[in-house]
Chains A and B, each alone.
Chain A
Amino acid sequence: MTRILDVRALSKGFTMHHLDTRMAAFSDISFTLDAGEFLLLKGRNGAGKSTLLRTLYRSYLAASGEILFHGPEGVIDLARAADVDVTYLRRTEIGFVTQFLTARPRVSAEALVAEPLRRSGAPAEAALEQARHWLQAFGVKPELWAAYPTTFSGGEQQKVNLARALILPQRLLLLDEPTASLDVSARAALIDRLAELKAGGTAMIGVFHHPGDVATLIDREIDLTPDAATREDRDDVVV
């Protein structure tokens, strides 16, 4: 298998200067991930599941440890990589899917969804066509495509968000509860798209409120609850 990620002794904490305290989030996490693998992060509230995802994406700075990402250009430690390299990887190799849409004022739903394709060099019209395809797939009504998503309902916004986040296949996909508050058909469309990306070799790490939603995709699990019996169990294949 092609190795995608090699996480070694990763730790994260937050220093809260105004309280003069330091709060640990997780410590000494190690695991590996191969192309096409789906890793589920488990653990009770506050165990650091989302924090781990954000640390891997470099929205949070790791306190110590390594996040070795195996990209087409070689291996790079995301914990220490230069900002400009991280920006480049985010544009081309590493995706992050949340349940929240970052809508921009006066930008239409279809333009927002087409943006990742346009940034990767696709011509405007082709990108828009793809965007409409995915808006349709996630069940956004055609009359909303040219409208501004800032006024959409929470569910509609989330569908736009998923269409945007999953339009461009990437090497590594980080999923932070993308199914929360989705209706049944949109959830089915999401699972289909994830399965398709997985089959194409995208490695995924996800946090799900209801892991049952993605049961068919899960290859392995890591429990982040402190002192959990299994930190990383390669034989625990659930498929």
Chain B
Amino acid sequence: MSLTMDEPTLVTTRPLLTARDVSKAYGPVQALRGVSATVYPGEVLGIVGESGSGKSTFLRALNLEETPDTGSYTLDLPDVQGNLFDLDRYARRMLCATRIGIVYQNPHLGLLMSHSSSGNVAERLLVAGERRFAVLRDKAQRALEASEFPTERMDAPPAELSGGMQQRVQLAKAIALEPALLLLDEPTTGLDVSVQALVLDTLKRLQQERRITMVIVSHDLGVIRTLSDRVMVMRRGEVVEQGLADQVFQDPQHAYTQQLVHAKL
């Protein structure tokens, strides 16, 4: 039924991110089965799927936290070459610290809770080689402002902040070095709806003003629909369908996607 879509002809830039045939097993559990994805500069790819579909594993692979059993991953950046899964630990750490930002669902994964919020952001800049205190502080403050964090609280540790504010510190840390790719793993899950709306608004603004390329994973279809240009639906480690966000939600082709969309409140 569905037609095979053509390669782009109008948008002549190459994809920023190309992942091919990524597979990963944890013991007997096949978490990813040949997942492929392309993301163009400035595009937002949303990944949806039920718990255990492999969507977070795939995102962690894109953040080079997981080494898949097979598959390749490239980023079209001037000084980045080859299959990123082949990089050693040091090269991975440098690449992730400088070119890729990530916001986790659980702020404990992304932040040091007892350090100051500004220090958490500055840590990113330190890894990238910045040593001048005034520059560190100034850049950290600007990143916190961009993620709409009240900067009079910038020296408070995340442990003293609300969940929404912790997510903003994570976001500031992720964008402090203007990454080429921003990965978001359930960034608003667990926040109450009004805080969720504020975080979504901040993300949308960053998208529009900075054209940051994003991959966002969520089981919340509303969040995905609000933020994404394109949507990829995963189930049991496989991509069952992908397309423009409004098309996947309005005219889902696969039985599983239909089930998922019809289950939305």
What are the residues of chain A within 8 A of B5 when measuring CB–CB?
A: 80-83
Partner of B204, one of A18, A58, A104: A104
What are the residues of chain A within 8 A of B1 when measuring CB–CB?
A: 15, 61, 63
B246 A82 Cβ-Cβ under 8 A: no
A71 B244 Cβ-Cβ under 8 A: no
What are the residues of chain B within 8 A of A106 when measuring CB–CB?
A: 197-198, 201
Tell me whether B255 is interfacial, beta carbon within 8 Å. yes
A82 B9 Cβ-Cβ under 8 A: yes
CB distance from A96 to the nearest CB of B (A): 9
A61 B9 Cβ-Cβ under 8 A: no
What is the size category of the interface that chain A forms with chain B? 35 or more
A115 B10 Cβ-Cβ under 8 A: no
Interface residues of A in 81-98 (CB under 8 A from B): 81-89
Partner of A87, one of B9, B201, B229: B229
With A59-B250, A107-B201, A118-B208 as contacts: A71 and B10 at CB distance below 8 Å: yes
In the complex, the chain A residue whose C-beta lies closest to that of B7 is: A82
A18 B11 Cβ-Cβ under 8 A: no
With A59-B251, A61-B253 as contacts: A104 and B2 at CB distance below 8 Å: no
Partner of A84, one of B11, B200, B247: B11
With A61-B253, A104-B201, A106-B198 as contacts: A84 and B43 at CB distance below 8 Å: yes
Tell me whether A16 is interfacial, beta carbon within 8 Å. yes
Alpha-carbon gap, A82 to B6, bound state (A): 5
CB distance from B35 to the nearest CB of A (A): 17
Tell me whether A73 is interfacial, beta carbon within 8 Å. yes
Q: Which of B43, B201, B243, B251 has the most CB of A within 10 A?
A: B251
Could you list some 14 contacts between A and B, CB below 8 A?
A18-B255, A18-B262, A59-B251, A61-B247, A61-B251, A61-B253, A71-B10, A76-B9, A81-B8, A82-B5, A83-B229, A84-B8, A84-B230, A115-B208
Q: A15-B1, A104-B201 are in contact. List 6 more A-B contacts (CB 8 A).
A: A54-B250, A80-B4, A82-B5, A84-B230, A86-B244, A89-B10
B40 A81 Cβ-Cβ under 8 A: no
Chain B positions near chain A (C-beta within 8 angstroms): 1-11, 40, 43, 197-198, 200-201, 204, 208, 226, 229-230, 243-244, 246-247, 250-251, 253-255, 258-259, 262
B247 A60 Cβ-Cβ under 8 A: yes
Tell me whether A212 is interfacial, beta carbon within 8 Å. no
What are the residues of chain A within 8 A of B226 when measuring CB–CB?
A: 104
Q: Which 9 A-B pairs have CB atoms at the shortest separation, nearest pair first?
A: A105-B197, A17-B255, A82-B8, A60-B251, A85-B10, A59-B246, A84-B40, A84-B11, A80-B6
What are the residues of chain B within 8 A of A77 when measuring CB–CB?
A: 6
What are the residues of chain A within 8 A of B262 when measuring CB–CB?
A: 18
What are the residues of chain A within 8 A of B43 when measuring CB–CB?
A: 84, 87
What are the residues of chain A within 8 A of B204 when measuring CB–CB?
A: 104, 107
A-B contact count (CB 8 A): 94
CB distance from B122 to the nearest CB of A (A): 29
Alpha-carbon gap, A119 to B5, bound state (A): 26
CB distance from A86 to the nearest CB of B (A): 6
In the complex, the chain B residue whose C-beta lies closest to that of A16 is: B258
Alpha-carbon gap, A64 to B3, bound state (A): 8
Tell me whether A172 is interfacial, beta carbon within 8 Å. no
CB distance from A25 to the nearest CB of B (A): 10
B6 A83 Cβ-Cβ under 8 A: no
Alpha-carbon gap, A104 to B222, bound state (A): 11
In the complex, the chain A residue whose C-beta lies closest to that of B201 is: A106
Contact code string A40-66 (vs B, CB < 8 Å = 1, else 0):
000000000000001000111111100
What are the residues of chain A within 8 A of B250 when measuring CB–CB?
A: 54, 59-60
CB distance from B1 to the nearest CB of A (A): 6
What are the residues of chain B within 8 A of A74 when measuring CB–CB?
A: 9
In the complex, the chain B residue whose C-beta lies closest to that of A91 is: B229
Tell me whether A39 is interfacial, beta carbon within 8 Å. no
What are the residues of chain B within 8 A of A63 when measuring CB–CB?
A: 1
CB distance from A54 to the nearest CB of B (A): 7
Tell me whether A101 is interfacial, beta carbon within 8 Å. no
Alpha-carbon gap, A119 to B258, bound state (A): 31
What are the residues of chain B within 8 A of A15 when measuring CB–CB?
A: 1, 253
In the complex, the chain A residue whose C-beta lies closest to that of B8 is: A82
What are the residues of chain A within 8 A of B4 when measuring CB–CB?
A: 80
Interface residues of A in 12-39 (CB under 8 A from B): 14-18
A62 B3 Cβ-Cβ under 8 A: yes
Alpha-carbon gap, A54 to B254, bound state (A): 19
Alpha-carbon gap, A17 to B247, bound state (A): 17
Q: Which of A73, A81, A83 has the most CB of B within 10 A?
A: A83
